[in-house]
Amino acid sequence: MALHRLQRLAVAPLSFTGGATSQVLREMSTLPRVYVTRQIPPEGLRILRDSGQVQFELWDSDDVPVPRNELLQNVKGVDGLLCVLTEKIDAELLDAAGPNLKVLSTMSVGFDHLSLEELKKRGIRVGYTPEVLTDAVAELTVALLLATSRRLIEATHEAKTGGWGTWRTLWLCGYELANSTVGILGLGRIGVAIAERLAPFKVKKFIYTDVAPRPELAKVINAEYVSLDELAKQSDFLSVCCALTPDTKEICNKDLFAKMKNTSIIINTSRGGVVNQEDLYEALSTGQIAGAGLDVTVPEPLPTSHPLFTLKNCVILPHIASASYSTRNAMSALAANNLLLGLRGQPMIKELKL
């Protein structure tokens, strides 16, 4: 219920009262200047346009990110910046923007593309878009898990290319969720939502690990807290849901894979940097683990020549976990409303505490 309320609030344009009317504001040359680094979904643009609170420029493409040199030029003197996760917001960019920049709003739940220390040092407020994408990410995670464990991509290829011959007893067999143990690395809203969707598949047990036990969340899905080693040893399916931090960088590596069952499946819909891809390739190609489903990689896009693409037991998606029309519009609306509230000096709907 709380998530649905947040989605409605994120999409609804905020009413800004007091001071000059929006018609007068549009005519004022003192309106805050905003740069939007991508052609974001229409709800967010509509909110910015109809607010009458800002004058904004837009990199008018959704297919091609703004080139770095143009980005550095276009942010000069802006008061606010609305970005997506493809833009690296670092000291160079903040220096280029100059002292007028007071508010940054990112249309993402992750913030590893932001230099938080630099933003904090400059007193720049940061809005982001968690929670509105929980359902979409959880759904995609389940879809990716099933596609990987039941070998759907392989099966589709065989059907299309003439490999579908006579019925065979063990051809394209995979692994069932029924009576399995599902492990969650990083138990937050998304981890809980994934478990709630998997429970009807008759999962035997949910386990998780995190920096510390999270009893309130764990109670919702009846999950048991275990160590990272036990998570690797016990999990038939391991869903990676943690944020990318110095502590979690490449936490899924050869040491972890060595402890996993050779029938285990690992799914990553968090951040690519959490997984050591060279170690993952070795584990998959030698049969140390059974399969992997990745929605995130390093880099993005992953070069088509990367060895992981040669493996039948590795399903790779182009970072589409939040890619539903309703979720992306809710994200853009929340990002726009965060920006407008920040520029007015008011509390954002979702603000990172630096």
**Which amino acids are annotated catalytic?**
319
Buried b (16+ CB within 10 A) or exposed e, 91-128: eebbebbeeebbbbbbbbbbbbebbeebbeebebbbbb
Whats the size of the chain, residue-wise? 354
Query: Rounded to an integer, what is the distance from CA 21 to the centroid of its chain?
Result: 38
The Cα 97–Cα 88 span in angstroms is: 13
Nearest to 317 by CA among 106, 63, 147, 187: 147
- Write out the DSSP string of 267-306: EE-S-GGGB-HHHHHHHHHTTSSSEEEES--SSSSPPTT-
Would you say 288 and 259 are in contact if contact means Cβ atoms under 8 Å apart? Answer: no
| Preceding omega of 299 cis (within 30 degrees of 0) | yes
Cβ atoms within 10 Å of 220's Cβ, excluding its own: 13
- DSSP output for 139-200: HHHHHHHHHHHTTHHHHHHHHHHT---S--SSTT----STT-EEEEES-SHHHHHHHHHHGG
Amino acid at 297: T
First to last CA, the chain: 28
Helix 152-161 to helix 134-149 angle (10° resolution) is: 60
